[in-house]
Amino acid sequence: MSADFPRTREALSAETLEHLLSLERAFARKEPIALAERGGPDRGARPDFDVILAGGGLSLVYGAWLARTGLRVAIFDRRKVGCGHREWNISRAELQPLADAALFEKPGDLIDLEYRQGIVRWHGGGTYAVNGVLDCVVNAERLLDALRAQAEAAGATLLDFHALASYSVGDGGVLVQLHHEGATVELSGRLLLDGLGAASPHAAFDLCCPTVGGVLSGLATGGANDEVDPALGEILVTTEDVEDGRQHIWEGFPGAHGRFTAYLFYYVEPARLPEHPLLELYERFFATRPRYKRGDATMEKPTYGFIPAYTRLRPMPASPRDRVLLVGDAAGRHSPLTFCGFGSMIRSFLPVARALVERLSTDRLDHRSLAAAWDEPPGLQVMGGLTLMMVPGRGNGRAPDDINHLLDAAFASLAEMGNEVYAAFVRDQIGFRDFITFMRKTAARRPTIYDEVFAVMSRGEIAKWSWRLARLGMTQWKSG
């Protein structure tokens, strides 16, 4: 470790520090996964599995569902399948796809805690409450344990502690090579689902959020901003302007037994990441956490990682190969603003999984047919311009408080438009008309907004964003 990070070393175990370093190395692509263009099973081969799921994180929901449809499924992970969870939140209604998929009879049983409402608060600006989004804490362990058990009961092959080394695609399937305890293990499948999250070789994101934090105990409770209100989820909160060249943002939500999960993150272009993004951010987390929530906190469980984000102003990640489909964070179909990958996964997995069953039954596993399994939520098509504003380093000469002022204007407009629109925005589901009203209202509050947004975008990005906005308008106009 080139720097010292004294607070982080004191608060985290040696094992966690080692895992943090390995994540940083993997993210910087110092341990690339080899991909061969050809060399997989030939036409007419009978692969061992219909579907191989690479990565048993949240994408396990695909593995469990596909196995239950009777497909031959293998799931592998470099850690234990189904253990890589964080603390996740969502709204009650959004859990419905788990019931529709017959994976959970009563998905509400997965909820540990439900808040009165969520808030967004900008330093030097206002606090904007929203109901019905991100207001339920899901018991992630129970969810993943149950998915693992369902996959196993349906006959899926689970391979714990197997790391993807390489894969190659042939006309008859995909051949996957795994490292396991010094040996190489080979699997063949008709289709590979890449659920490797930010570690996927295809996750070519143009923004990312290094995110650190964890479950804390011992924080002061009460109604002040720097105290924990057990009935309030904090979706996005800033406690200062740009410092050290970054706009840091907090997210926090209470858990069971007086605990509180707090995350600190910032938006950055991957090329501008420092050598130790997670360690550096943890050091800041421990130093500045009392600005966010006061009290003598103990770190009960650290959680951290890189969340990929996509402005959609550059090409989206996609497998360049037939027979491979990206899912979850690797596919990046979540908001580049709120990065609610959990909500996005639960909302999207069932239509995609059903489309996969259809593609497998008709043997249409070419790149184009697989990519068409995805349907892009409307809000995602036009959010990128706003997200770019959050990236210090773009748009030289901006004042340190610009990002807070801009976001304050944006969220004041959303709050004014009413809960339905505000909640739809956070869920990536805002429609064209509401988006236009939102832009109009925000511009009335901050007349320089278009100059500011366009100043941080290249001409190509402006053209692409305008085209996406026009296309969204056309699509929604045609569908009435």
Ligand X SMILES: Cc1cc2nc3c(=O)[nH]c(=O)nc-3n(C[C@H](O)[C@H](O)[C@H](O)COP(=O)(O)OP(=O)(O)OC[C@H]3O[C@@H](n4cnc5c(N)ncnc54)[C@H](O)[C@@H]3O)c2cc1C
Give dist(CA 388, CA 455) in Å, integer.
10
State yes or no: residue 89 binds ligand X (CB under 6 A): yes
Q: 3-class SS at 301?
A: strand
Residue of minimal CB distance from ligand X? Answer: 341
Q: Which is nearer to ligand X, 84 or 336 (CB)?
A: 84
Cβ-count burial 397-428 (b if 16+ within 10 Å, e if not): ebeebbbbbbbbbbbbbbbebeeebbbbbbbb
The number of residues in the chain equals 480
- The single residue among 270, 277, 328, 379 that binds ligand X, judged by CB under 6 A, is 328
- The single residue among 205, 260, 267, 342 that binds ligand X, judged by CB under 6 A, is 342
Positions in 408-437 near ligand X (CB under 6 A): none
Give dist(CA 126, CA 100) in Å, integer.
39
Give dist(CA 312, CA 383) in Å, integer.
8
- The single residue among 65, 88, 286, 310 that binds ligand X, judged by CB under 6 A, is 88
Give dist(CA 311, CA 181) in Å, integer.
39
- The single residue among 132, 233, 305, 379 that binds ligand X, judged by CB under 6 A, is 305
State yes or no: residue 77 binds ligand X (CB under 6 A): yes
State yes or no: residue 118 binds ligand X (CB under 6 A): no
- The single residue among 19, 79, 272, 294 that binds ligand X, judged by CB under 6 A, is 79
Query: What single DSSP character describes residue 333?
Result: -
Q: Which is nearer to ligand X, 163 or 417 (CB)?
A: 163
Q: Report phi then psi at 62, rounded to 5.
A: -65, -45
Q: How far is the CB of 144 from ligand X (least distance, A)?
A: 9
- The single residue among 103, 156, 299, 307 that binds ligand X, judged by CB under 6 A, is 307
Distances (CA, A) of 350 to 226, 330, 332, 345: 40, 17, 16, 9
State yes or no: residue 189 binds ligand X (CB under 6 A): no
What's the helix, strand, coil split of the chain in %, to 5?
40, 25, 35
State yes or no: residue 164 binds ligand X (CB under 6 A): yes
Residue matched to tokens 């695909």: 62
Tell which residue, 287, 252, 288, 281, has the closest CA to residue 266: 281
Residue matched to tokens 């290094």: 210
Chain centre distance of CA 61: 15
Q: How far is the CB of 340 from ligand X (least distance, A)?
A: 4
At 346, the amino acid letter reads: I
- The single residue among 40, 65, 86, 333 that binds ligand X, judged by CB under 6 A, is 86
State yes or no: residue 78 binds ligand X (CB under 6 A): yes
Positions in 199-238 near ligand X (CB under 6 A): 199, 211
- The single residue among 329, 408, 428, 461 that binds ligand X, judged by CB under 6 A, is 329
Q: 3-class SS at 228?
A: strand
Give dist(CA 38, CA 211) in Å, integer.
37
Count of beta carbons in the 10 Å neighbourhood of residue 14:
8
Q: Count of residues binding ligand X (CB under 6 A)?
A: 33
Segment interacting with ligand X (CB under 6 A) among 9-17, 56-64, 413-421, 449-457: 56-64
H or E element, residue 45:
none
State yes or no: residue 84 binds ligand X (CB under 6 A): yes
Segment interacting with ligand X (CB under 6 A) among 40-48, 57-65, 279-287, 397-405: 57-65
State yes or no: residue 57 binds ligand X (CB under 6 A): yes
Segment interacting with ligand X (CB under 6 A) among 49-57, 114-122, 291-299, 430-438: 49-57
Q: How far is the CB of 427 from ligand X (least distance, A)?
A: 10
Q: Which is nearer to ligand X, 41 or 195 (CB)?
A: 195
Contacts with ligand X, residue ranges (CB under 6 A): 33, 55-59, 77-79, 84, 86, 88-89, 163-164, 195-197, 199, 211, 263, 303-305, 307, 328-330, 340-343, 345
